[in-house]
């Protein structure tokens, strides 16, 4: 059984009010990044459906609102596999070598 590790560091802006917080996620396995990419794209897709009223949709919309993101703009880009949706969320992925 393999273990998958994702660690995070946060860079909180101090210069401007309203500047987006940046996150750096360090990972060792590409499968982990791919899985998180799929989850984020699904969340953005859910948030873009205003007519749905299930709890997952409402949570996704609340998450987008909390991050002060334009749901319409993200919904258009989340379906494009060439767009890095993590960059739109202020997340930078960094691959690291496996520690033993």
With 50 as the cut, is the pLDDT of residue 14 above it? no
Confidence (pLDDT) at 21: 73
Rounded to whole angstroms, how far apart are CA atoms 59 and 93?
Answer: 24
pLDDT in tens, 21-74: 788 888 888 898 889 888 888 877 777 776 767 787 777 778 777 766 666 666
Domain locations in the chain as residue ranges:
6-10+20-95
Comparing 10-14, 63-67, 76-80, which segment has the lowest mean pLDDT? 10-14
List Cβ<8 Å contacts ≥24 apart for 75-80. 75/44, 75/45, 75/47, 75/48, 78/40, 78/41, 78/44, 78/45, 78/48, 79/41, 79/45
């Amino acid at each position: 059984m393999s273990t998958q590790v994702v660690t995070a560091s946060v860079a909180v802006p101090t210069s401007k009010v309203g500047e987006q917080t940046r996150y750096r996620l360090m990972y060792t396995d590409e499968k982990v990044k791919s899985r998180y990419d799929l989850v984020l794209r699904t969340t953005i897709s859910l948030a873009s459906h205003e007519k749905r009223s299930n709890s997952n949709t409402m949570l996704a919309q609340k998450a987008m609102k909390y991050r002060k993101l334009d749901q319409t703009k993200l919904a258009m880009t989340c379906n494009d596999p060439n767009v890095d949706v993590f960059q739109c969320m202020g997340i930078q992925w960094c691959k690291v070598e496996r520690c033993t």
